[in-house]
Amino acid sequence: MSASNRPDGPRPETTGPDEGPQAPFPLRLSGEVVKGFGRGSSELGIPTANIPLSGLSVGGYDDIESGVYYGWAGIAPCTATHQHPPGSQSKYKLMASHIASALGKVAFGGSEREDAEGRKETLTSEKGAVYPMVMSIGWNPYYKNEVRSVEVHVMHQFETDFYGSHMNVNILGFIRPEYDYVSKEKLIEDIKTDIDVAGRSLARKPYAKMGDDPYLLDFKGKEQVAS
């Protein structure tokens, strides 16, 4: 449960090889969205959709390294997924605008995608919706958690929560290990950097296309999985 302090120096702009995810990625997790510690929105301004720790067992990843990861999240159909579909104009401001624009062009349809015509239909349907995500698996050393948690930040602005909805997660890369922080402000600063790193990493075509994985919208028989 111990964690080192964040090292000094600049952070990498992307993680993972440019040609696409390499073993052990991609990793698949699944679970029902449940209420967490209530700190993401209220204290940090960065809401998270938590899934039960048993979601790691479903994927066979009980021993996964604690830290921050990025990838894609599929959410079962609900009010939230219909309000602001992926790639739509939204109020999401936690990612640098130029990074969000680059990710949108490659991932959600645009001149940079050969299959742009059907992209939004693929990502948003009656089966649910797929969004970019960055997630934390671990103990949150700054808050000295006594239990390990799986906290997914969906990089999109929603007008309502989606507790009780099922989420499938495709993890494509590792960003950094857990660190302890001298202040909440430093923690928030690093999380926002995580979001930018995730956005740049997912904007690369091999990673963007992983959002098409049918697994992300396959919720059949999963109503009780990891709940």
In angstroms, the CA 67 to CA 69 distance is 7
HSE-CB at 34 with a 13 A cutoff on CA atoms is 16
Task: Decide: 165 and 225 in contact? Cβ < 8 Å.
Answer: no
Active-site annotation holds for 151? yes
In angstroms, the CA 158 to CA 155 distance is 10
What sign for the dihedral angle of Cα 34, 135, 18, 23?
negative
Which SS3 state, helix, strand or coil, does residue 122 take?
helix
Place of tokens 């075509």: 205
Of the candidates 151, 159, 178, 189, the residue annotated as catalytic is 151
Task: Decide: 151 and 133 in contact? Cβ < 8 Å.
Answer: no
Active site residues per annotation: 151
